[in-house]
């Protein structure tokens, strides 16, 4: 009996130690398992938040964002937090993934408190989040090599265009024509007073009976609105526009909280070129035939010009194209001896027609500027009609002869484009985009995107500065009497950074 009693005590002690160890192990398993379950719930909640991306925005512009207003137009971050919290509690509570035999919470896991600790919005840092997504999308669809080749082509054309535009800004056709008119008036007065004896010694030049002074024609054309001259007949100019209060770039915007996360670092020339390729692909222009119901028709022109209406933006682009074309055409005229001879011959006829042969030098300069201006008008009209114009002209691509200059009004009324090699209007806009600032172009692109999205049914309150692209949450969780903090984050750029 004593021997049996000693065995019972030993067994009791052994069982007590075993049960103590088992209880410790069980609690450790509960804590570890509960923590995994809570973490899975938080991550599931974040995935649930970001699964609610705007479908229409993705379909049209290929970027992701969660509408932080949930369609109301009023910023509601608490709904995102509630989604994360509910998913975590669903993961831990009875009826969740793992429960006891009696429906008890085996992990003894519950939420204590929590908060959103950081979020990044689409609009932060001049739309950097938008731009980063665009860069990733375009890399996947076009490939780096294809984009580099495209950008190299545009970069070379941009250098030529910028030089032309610089020279074009120094050419003032109106001032040249004013100088011609002033000289003509002074010469006429001198001739009337008999002081211009030199003019009587000039060789007589025959003037055709039906001769029309081309300088007078150009003078009259300069008094007309530029769009009336270059817009092809039968094509109307859009009267659509955006109000200042409707524009993303002009209003006070919401900003993110905490450390922002965008993914790809894109402050490079390549990234700038990629975003410009995206604009060329996703925004419409004057020659586009799709998306005609959008609130802004000339979207690329808006990115370039930044005016409130389609008409003003088209006019801004036309003036820039006209300045560049004038310089290019002027350089061609100066270098072509055949054209210079034609200018000299026509200047003599004009001087004879106005009876002031002493003005041959001034008339030649005015005629040269007028001819370059007339050819430039035809160039821009050719582009708007869907034709092509080379950056640098040759004799084969020159469209207006000096004898046709007096008939320029009739030529401009022809709505058809001439068949020739060169660049389209859309490609010229690509060059203009390369001369702009990336931040400004990004915000103006977002102006267009926001306006288009707001025109869709049920999206009247759509705002890109309420678009969440990254979210970080911190949840306080109770596990078997112990409290733990779980910090988790997610964003659309995860894995691309």
Tokens in use for 165? 């535009």
- Rounded Cα–Cα distance for residues 337 and 339 (Å): 5
Backbone angles phi, psi at 175, to 5 degrees: -65, -40
Residue 483 has pLDDT above 90, yes or no: no
Backbone angles phi, psi at 480, to 5 degrees: 50, 45
- Rounded Cα–Cα distance for residues 317 and 313 (Å): 6
Region of residue 433 (phi > 0: left; psi between -120 and 50: alpha; otherwise: beta)? alpha
Q: pLDDT class for 284, splitting at 50, 70, 90?
A: very high
Q: Above pLDDT 90, what percent of the chain?
A: 46
3-class secondary structure, 233: coil
pLDDT of residue 35: 75
User: Contact 430/398 with Cβ under 8 angstroms?
Assistant: no
Q: What is the mean pLDDT of residues 127-144?
A: 86
Q: What is the pLDDT of residues 373-390, one digit of tens each?
A: 999 999 999 999 999 999
User: Contact 331/393 with Cβ under 8 angstroms?
Assistant: no
Whole-number mean pLDDT of the chain?
84
- Adjacent-strand bridge partners of 471: 119, 490
Out of 96-110, 172-186, 260-274, 324-338, the most confident range is: 324-338
DSSP letter (8 states) at residue 197: -
- Rounded Cα–Cα distance for residues 416 and 234 (Å): 11
How wide is the angle at C-alpha 297 spanned by C-alphas 296 and 300, nearest 5°? 95
Tokens 């793992």 belong to 98
Q: How many CB atoms lie within 10 A of CB 121?
A: 26
Q: What is the pLDDT of residues 406-438, one digit of tens each?
A: 999 999 987 677 778 899 999 999 989 988 899
pLDDT of residue 142: 76
Tokens in use for 394? 């040759």
User: Contact 470/489 with Cβ under 8 angstroms?
Assistant: yes
Residue 132 has pLDDT above 80, yes or no: yes
pLDDT of residue 155: 72
3-state secondary structure labels for all residues of 69-123? CCCCCCCCHHHHHHHHHHHHHHHHCCCCCCCCCCCCCCCCEEEEEEEEEEEEECC
User: Contact 119/88 with Cβ under 8 angstroms?
Assistant: no
Q: Which of 313-327, 351-365, 384-398 has the lowest mean pLDDT?
A: 351-365
Which residues in 332-442 belong to E strands, given as ranges? none
- Rounded Cα–Cα distance for residues 200 and 472 (Å): 90
Q: What is the mean pLDDT of residues 400-410?
A: 93
Q: Which of 48-52, 120-124, 259-263, 291-295 has the lowest mean pLDDT?
A: 259-263
pLDDT of residue 6: 54
User: Contact 99/105 with Cβ under 8 angstroms?
Assistant: yes
Tokens in use for 264? 């790809």
User: Contact 470/477 with Cβ under 8 angstroms?
Assistant: no
Q: pLDDT class for 24, splitting at 50, 70, 90?
A: low
- Rounded Cα–Cα distance for residues 42 and 486 (Å): 8
Contacts of 162 (CB under 8 A, 6+ apart): 435
Q: What is the mean pLDDT of residues 174-189?
A: 74
Q: How many CB atoms lie within 10 A of CB 83?
A: 19
Backbone angles phi, psi at 472, to 5 degrees: -125, 130
Q: What is the mean pLDDT of residues 171-195?
A: 69
User: Contact 483/34 with Cβ under 8 angstroms?
Assistant: no
pLDDT of residue 98: 43
Q: How many CB atoms lie within 10 A of CB 148?
A: 14
Q: pLDDT class for 168, splitting at 50, 70, 90?
A: low
- Rounded Cα–Cα distance for residues 395 and 180 (Å): 27
Q: % helix / strand / coil in the chain, to the nearest 5?
A: 60, 10, 30
pLDDT of residue 66: 96
Q: Above pLDDT 70, what percent of the chain?
A: 83
Q: pLDDT class for 314, splitting at 50, 70, 90?
A: very high
More confident of the two residues 1 and 125: 125
3-class secondary structure, 309: strand
Largest CA distance in the chain: 158
Q: pLDDT class for 19, splitting at 50, 70, 90?
A: confident
Per residue in 344-362, is it b (16+ CB within 10 Å) or e — as a string? eebbbbbbbebebbbbbeb
Q: pLDDT class for 111, splitting at 50, 70, 90?
A: low
- Adjacent-strand bridge partners of 115: 474
- Rounded Cα–Cα distance for residues 396 and 448 (Å): 40
User: Contact 215/370 with Cβ under 8 angstroms?
Assistant: yes
Of 434, 305, 316, whose CA–CA distance to 380 is shortest? 316
Of 326, 321, 290, whose CA–CA distance to 429 is shortest? 321
User: Contact 446/467 with Cβ under 8 angstroms?
Assistant: no
pLDDT of residue 260: 83
pLDDT of residue 344: 93
Residue 448 has pLDDT above 90, yes or no: yes
pLDDT of residue 106: 58
């Amino acid at each position: 009996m004593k021997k049996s009693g000693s065995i019972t005590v030993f067994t009791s002690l052994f069982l007590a130690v075993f049960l103590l160890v088992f209880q410790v192990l069980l609690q450790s398993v509960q804590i570890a398992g509960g923590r995994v379950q809570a973490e899975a719930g938080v991550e599931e909640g974040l995935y649930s938040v970001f699964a609610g991306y705007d479908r229409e925005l993705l379909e049209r512009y290929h970027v992701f964002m969660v509408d932080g207003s949930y369609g109301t137009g009023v910023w509601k971050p608490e709904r995102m937090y509630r989604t994360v919290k509910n998913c975590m509690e669903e993961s831990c509570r009875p009826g969740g993934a793992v429960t006891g035999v009696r429906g008890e919470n085996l992990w003894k896991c519950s939420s204590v408190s929590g908060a959103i600790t950081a979020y990044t919005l689409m609009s932060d840092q001049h739309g950097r989040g938008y731009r980063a997504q665009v860069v990733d999308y375009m890399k996947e669809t076009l490939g780096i090599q294809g984009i580099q080749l495209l950008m190299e082509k545009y970069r070379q054309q941009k250098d030529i265009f910028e030089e032309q535009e610089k020279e074009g800004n120094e050419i003032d056709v109106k001032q040249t024509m004013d100088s011609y008119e002033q000289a003509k008036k002074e010469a006429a007065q001198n001739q009337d007073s008999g002081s211009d004896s030199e003019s009587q010694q000039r060789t007589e030049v025959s003037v055709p009976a039906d001769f029309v002074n081309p300088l007078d024609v150009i003078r009259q054309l300069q008094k007309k609105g530029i769009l009336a001259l270059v817009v092809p007949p039968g094509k109307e100019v859009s009267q659509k526009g955006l109000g200042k209060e409707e524009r993303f770039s002009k209003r006070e915007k919401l900003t993110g909280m905490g450390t922002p996360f965008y993914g790809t670092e894109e402050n490079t020339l390549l990234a700038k070129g990629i975003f410009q390729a995206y604009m060329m692909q996703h925004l419409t222009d004057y020659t586009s035939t799709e998306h005609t119901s959008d609130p802004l028709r000339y979207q690329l022109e808006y990115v370039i010009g930044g005016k409130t209406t389609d008409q003003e933006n088209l006019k801004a682009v036309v003036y820039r194209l006209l300045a560049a074309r004038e310089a290019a055409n002027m350089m061609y005229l100066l270098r072509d001896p055949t054209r210079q001879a034609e200018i000299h011959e026509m200047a003599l006829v004009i001087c004879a027609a106005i009876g002031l042969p002493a003005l041959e030098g001034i008339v030649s300069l005015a005629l040269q500027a007028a001819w370059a201006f007339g050819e430039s008008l035809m160039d821009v009209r050719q582009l708007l009609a869907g034709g092509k114009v080379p950056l640098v002209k040759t004799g084969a691509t020159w469209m207006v002869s000096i004898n046709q200059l007096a008939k320029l009004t009739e030529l401009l009324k022809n709505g058809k484009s001439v068949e020739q090699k060169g660049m389209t209007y859309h490609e010229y806009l690509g060059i203009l985009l390369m001369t702009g600032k990336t931040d400004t172009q990004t915000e103006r692109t977002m102006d267009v995107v926001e306006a288009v999205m707001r025109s869709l049914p049920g999206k009247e309150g759509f705002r890109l500065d309420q678009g969440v692209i990254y979210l970080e949450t911190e949840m306080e969780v109770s596990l078997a009497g112990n409290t733990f903090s779980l910090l988790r984050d997610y964003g659309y750029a995860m894995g691309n950074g």
